[in-house]
Amino acid sequence: MENTIELQGSTRKSHHSDKVKTNLVNRLNRIEGQIRGVKGMIEKDVYCDDILNQVSAIQSALNAVGKLLLEGHMKSCVIERIQQGDNEVIDELLATMNKLIK
């Protein structure tokens, strides 16, 4: 299963193995559950510090997903595009990294 993005007439696809996709989806499902848990904590007026600790855990989990995606992107898509002579991928990668690092 490949993800396809249509951009300005060209089709780009991700190159994730089924194992990596399963890992990412499982992580995102856990994060989704954590977010629902935080929502429930807020609705139940749980102590703010406890909620903030859960928010921190969610941010760390999302960062881990981002790192895995970035690593895969650099090892496949970025290398492939550079080999094809498409050096614009470097600027795209830098912009994406700046968004992730914020």
CATH number of 34's domain: 1.20.58.1000
Query: How would residue 82 be classed by pLDDT, with cut points 50, 70 and 90?
Result: very high
- Asked if residue 25 is part of any domain, the answer here is yes
The total of structural domains in the chain comes to 1
| Predicted confidence (pLDDT) per residue in 20-76, tens digit | 999 999 999 999 999 999 999 999 999 999 999 999 999 999 999 999 999 999 999
pLDDT at 3 over 90: no
Burial class from Cβ neighbours inside 10 Å (0-12, 13-18, 19+) for residue 94 reads exposed
- Asked if residue 50 is part of any domain, the answer here is yes
**What is the pTM for the complete model shown?**
0.81
Provide the residue range defining the domain that includes 48.
16-101
- Asked if residue 26 is part of any domain, the answer here is yes
